[in-house]
Amino acid sequence: MALTYLAAQALKPRKGDYMVGDGSGLYLRVYSSGRKIWINRKKVGGKFTSTTLGAEIEH
């Protein structure tokens, strides 16, 4: 499932941090503070690597 703008905005903070993925390596990490960070995860050499792409912009 692709993460749409509306779906990303609807994600609310929980007691602990969590990540929601789109199925192709793109994740949105939601912190308990409400901050949201885009992350790209891929498998390289049998290990997962993560690259932070940036913060969610609030309007």
d(CA 43, CA 16): 25
Options 3.40.50.10070, 3.40.50.720, 3.40.720.10, 3.30.160.390; CATH of 5-55? 3.30.160.390
For tokens 């949105």, name the residue. Answer: 28
CA torsion angle 52 36 24 7 (round to 10) = -160
How many residues are given for the chain?
Answer: 59
pLDDT lower than 50: segments of the chain: none
Q: Which pLDDT belongs to residue 32?
A: 94
Q: Which pLDDT belongs to residue 33?
A: 92
Q: Give the pLDDT confidence of 8-21 residue by residue, as tens digits.
A: 889 999 999 999 99
Sorted by where each begins, the domain ranges of the chain are 5-55
Q: Which pLDDT belongs to residue 19?
A: 94
For tokens 């960070």, name the residue. Answer: 37
Sorted by sequence, the CB contacts under 8 Å of residue 40 that are 6+ apart come out as 25, 26, 27, 50, 51, 53
